[in-house]
Amino acid sequence: RKEVEQDPGPFNVPEGATVAFNCTYSNSASQSFFWYRQDCRKEPKLLMSVYSSGNEDGRFTAQLNRASQYISLLIRDSKLSDSATYLCAVNMNTGGFKTIFGAGTRLFVKA
């Protein structure tokens, strides 16, 4: 089992739709969690951190469920510019701090 797993998609949604991505992690000692956005042929860029209490940034909402070991990202009112790959990332300290990334979920928002 991979340490961090995501549904690869692709998700094809119309503008204005709400779309949700999930990500599961296997190491219960994981310490912090993030969502990144990666555009084609570009480096990943931090979208938002994920907190146990849940957090919101405009149209984006992230949730963490430690008991079930998953994180989620909700995008409301999708825009064409939201089309990208969304990567979840998990920080863990297993004899040394490192970040493990999911394979990414591809999102296409169409007019």
Partner 1 sequence: SAVISQKPSRDICQRGTSLTIQCQVDSQVTMMFWYRQQPGQSLTLIATANQGSEATYESGFVIDKFPISRPNLTFSTLTVSNMSPEDSSIYLCSAAASNQPQHFGDGTRLSIL
Q: Closest approach of Cβ 16 to partner 1, in Å?
A: 28
How remote is the C-alpha of 9 from its chain's centroid?
13
Q: Please give the residue ranges that form the binding site for partner 1 (CB under 8 A).
A: 31-32, 34, 42-46, 49, 87, 89, 91, 93, 96-104
Closer residue to partner 1 (CB): 43 or 58: 43
Closer residue to partner 1 (CB): 97 or 111: 97
Closer residue to partner 1 (CB): 42 or 79: 42
Neighbour order of strands in the sheet with 55-57: 4-6, 19-25, 70-75, 60-65, 55-57
Measured CA angle at 52 (ends 46, 56), to 5 deg: 50
Closer residue to partner 1 (CB): 66 or 79: 66
Q: Closest approach of Cβ 100 to partner 1, in Å?
A: 7
Q: Closest approach of Cβ 82 to partner 1, in Å?
A: 19
